[in-house]
Chain A
Amino acid sequence: MAGGSTASMPARVEPSPALAPAAIRQAAAGDRQARGAFVRAYQDRVYRLLLRWTNERELALDLAQETFLKAFGALDRFREGADPAPWLFQIAHRLFLDHLRRFRPESLEAYREAGALAEPGALDQAIEGIAESEDLQAALARLPEPWREALVLRHFHDQPYEAIAEILGVPIGTVKTWLHRGRDRLRQELEGSAR
């Protein structure tokens, strides 16, 4: 039944790596080994998120680097026991917005309006090499940034509405709207490409 099948949750739930609070404290204190462990625990998720948002390998790498550098500077204030992943995602998002502000103001305007299509970036080879769904990827890349950001956080990183709202700095209602519009646009594009 259609209604039942739509009620599924994202199929892949990525567990957060368990880093002991002591390890985070050591990383906050500047311990190089602990910082290495911290980066190894979260680098793939942060990089993948940024790669999907930017569609550019070098830019994703730059922003991932900046994300961890900023995180190192703030780790001493990190709440013990909290999941660092959404916190890192929020830092990454601020840096991505800052990048748009400086280098692609037209995209930032689109971000604010959340209506116009953003310029699709060149899909990264890492994604192209392993993906079979070029249509879906291309449609994702053509979405306005905020819609794509919300969809990637929801479907690829299994973040709940509340977390997405905090990461993107918008109300939950806006997250819901962006997800709905993003999926509607994807559906329309995929139906169009299938014809």
Chain B
Amino acid sequence: MTCESAREQIQNAVDGRLAPAETEALVLHLHGCASCRAYSSAMAELDRALSDEASRDAQITAPPELMARLGLEDGAPVLVPVRVQPSVWRRWLPAGIAAAGLVVAIGIGYFQKPAPEVASVEAPLSDAEAIHLWIDPEAELVSWTGE
């Protein structure tokens, strides 16, 4: 085993992706190579440092304003759909159009206020692209649990 492949195997070991036979060959190499032993120790130390950092990272919580921005905080107004009767609709069509325009204008203003970033951001990303592996029915599901 070369030092280059030994170091690659050490990295694979960090990710828990080293087969038993590969482990044996790596250990054999490490016995005779001080340089790769030092590399292995450094990687083990880095792995521990990253684990510690991950534990600290887990203490971070999302700011409360995220729920507010999404209109999901407690006490936020709930939208109730309004059904319009056909007869009323025909009779009050002109006034209804004007009123609807006003409501839409107010509504846009209202909803843009808590989330101006979303209203102003273009959305060039395709949802279909973003979710192609997780949706039914055509797409094939990829297991995320290693099953």
Contact = CB atoms under 8 A, between A and B. Distances in A.
A113 interface: no
Interface stretch (B66-74, B82-90, B91-99, B100-108): B66-74
Contacts of A83: 144-145
A7 interface: yes
Nearest to B46: A187
A130 interface: yes
Given A65-B66, A130-B56, A7 B16 contact: yes
Contact of B133 (A64, A136, A151, A166): A166
- Name the residue among A7, A9, A78, A136 with the largest chain B CB count within 10 angstroms: A7
Contacts of A18: none
A189 B65 CA distance: 36
Interface stretch (A91-99, A104-112, A114-122): A91-99
Contact of A3 (B26, B72, B117, B142): B26
B54 interface: yes
A77 B41 CA distance: 46
B61 interface: yes
B3 interface: no
Contact of A86 (B52, B57, B144): B144
Given A66-B118, A155-B54, A3 B67 contact: no
Given A77-B136, A83-B145, A64 B66 contact: yes
Interface in A65-88: 65-66, 68-70, 73-74, 77-80, 82-83, 85-87
Nearest to B12: A176
A7 B50 contact: no
B72 A36 contact: yes
A91 B144 CA distance: 15
B124 interface: yes
Nearest to B29: A3
Contacts of B76: 32
A156 B135 contact: no
Contact of B144 (A7, A82, A98): A82
Nearest to B65: A61
Contact of B41 (A2, A7, A78, A176): A2
A187 B134 contact: no
Interface of A: 1-3, 5-12, 14, 32, 35-36, 39-40, 43-44, 46-48, 51-52, 57, 61-62, 64-66, 68-70, 73-74, 77-80, 82-83, 85-87, 90-91, 94-95, 98, 126-127, 130-133, 136-137, 140, 151, 154-156, 160-163, 166, 176, 179-180, 183, 186-187, 190-191
Given A6-B14, A65-B115, A91-B130, 8 more contacts: A8-B47, A10-B51, A35-B72, A65-B70, A74-B131, A155-B47, A155-B53, A190-B49
